Amino acid sequence: MFYYVLKYVLLGPLLRLLFRPRAEGLEHLPVKGAAIVAGNHLSFADPLLMPAVLKRRITFLAKAEYFTAPGPMGRLIALVLRGAGQISVDRSGRPAAQAAIREGRGVLMKGDLLAIYPEGTRSPDGRLYKGKVGVAVIALDAHVPVIPCAMVGTFQIWPPGRVLPRRRPIVIRFGEPLDFSRYAGTEHQEAVLRAVTDEITYAILRLSGQEYVNQYAADVKAGQAQGRRRRSSTAPALRSGPNGRPL
C-alpha cells in the first residue's frame, strides 16, 4: 500500500516534476508475470526514478548501506526503500549473498518484477563496470527473462559525493527481453554464469552508450580508497611557528 502512496502521492509527482524522466522501450516490459530488470547503477536516484515510469510495482535488491546512509538525504532514501518494501542486501560474504538470491527468487516466484544492478555498486565515474554473476544465478534458477535497462543522465544529477541532486531531465531506456532458456541444465557452471552476465552487461552497454571497464566497480573503489589513505598517511605534517601558524 505504502509503495503506491509513495509513487502516486508523495514522492512520484515530485520526482516527475524535478527530473521529468522519459521512458523508452516500455513495450519490452511484460504486462504481467515475473521478469528481472537489470540496469546500470550511476546514482542514488536510480532506484527512486525507475519506479516512477513503470505501471507495475518493482522490487529492488538494494545494498544494505542504502538503509543506513548518513545525512538527511540518506535517511530519506532509507525511509523510501523500507516503506516500499525493497530488499536489503548484505554484501559481507557468501552466506549473505545466498540469502539475497533467495529473497530475489521469492519475488519472482510471486510473479513480480525484480530490479538488479549487476555491477553491485554505483559507478565511481559514470562508466559501466563488469557485472557480478548473481543476476545470472537468479535468472537461470527462476527461468525468467531479463530486460536490460539504461539510466541515462542520473550520474550528472547526483554523482557520488554530491549531497543534493541537480535538476535536469533524464532518460530511462528499456531493451528487448533476453531469453536464457538455452542454458537449462547448465546453470551451475561458472562459465555459463559468466557468459550470461556478460550478455546482460553488453545489452545494458548498447542502451546506455557508456564506456566499459572490465573490472569490478567495488575493486576500483577499494583501490581508490586505499590510495587516499596512503596519501593521507604520507603527507608531511605542517610545522607551526611561534604564533601557531603553519610555517
At residue 11, φ and ψ (nearest 5 deg) are -100, -40
The CA angle 50-74-52, to the nearest 5 degrees, is 15
Helices (H), the chain: 2-5, 12-19, 46-49, 71-83, 94-109, 134-142, 154-157, 190-208, 217-234
SS3 187: coil
pLDDT at position 158: 85
**CATH architecture of residue range(s) 2-234:** 3-Layer(aba) Sandwich (3.40)
Q: What is the pLDDT of residues 173-194, one digit of tens each?
A: 999 999 999 999 898 899 999 9
Residue 117 CA to residue 62 CA, distance in Å, equals 8
At residue 50, φ and ψ (nearest 5 deg) are -60, -50
- pLDDT (average), residues 242-246: 59
Pick the residue with more confidence: 177 or 4?
A: 177
Which of 36-40, 84-88, 162-166 has the highest mean predicted lDDT (pLDDT)? 36-40
DSSP bridge pairs for 57: none
Question: Residue holding cell 541444465?
Answer: 185
pLDDT at position 28: 98
H-helix or E-strand containing 59? Answer: strand 58-63
**Residue 89 reports pLDDT greater than 80:** no
**Residue ranges covered by each domain of the chain:** 2-234
pLDDT at position 132: 95
pLDDT at position 6: 76
Neighbour tally for 158: CB within 10 Å:
23
Residues 6+ apart with CB under 8 A from 21: 15, 49, 52, 53, 169, 170, 171, 172
This prediction has a pTM of 0.85
